[in-house]
Amino acid sequence: MTTESAAATAARAEIRELIAAKGHTVDNARAAVARLDAAFADDSLERTPSLGLFLGDLMRALEQDDDQKLGGKSAEAARFILRAIDRELDRA
């Protein structure tokens, strides 16, 4: 079920801006996850089953050890998953 409110519209726009932002994909992904979590917490967006799966996959792609830099395959995976999240936002 799609959430229809000014807060939901604003959250979707902000998340999409974070996804499309210039910069490193991993940093953009972390910012988008933080904004999504905030939107779920304040009930401006509803966590759909698909979004839950995408976020779980994204978090696995972003896992790293303290001294490890993410790039390459992690960034590629994050870009792919962020596109899926972007498509699912309209259902949240």
pLDDT digits (tens, 9 = 90+) for 6-16: 999 999 999 99
Q: Taking residues 75-91, report their average pLDDT.
A: 91
pLDDT of residue 71: 53
With b for 16 or more beta-carbon neighbours within 10 A and e for fewer, the 62-78 pattern comes to beeeeeeebeeebbebb
What residues does each domain of the chain span? Answer: 6-91
25-41 vs 49-62: helix crossing angle, rounded to 10? 140
Q: 82 or 61, which is more confident?
A: 82
pLDDT tens column, 39-69 = 999 999 999 999 999 999 898 888 764 555 5
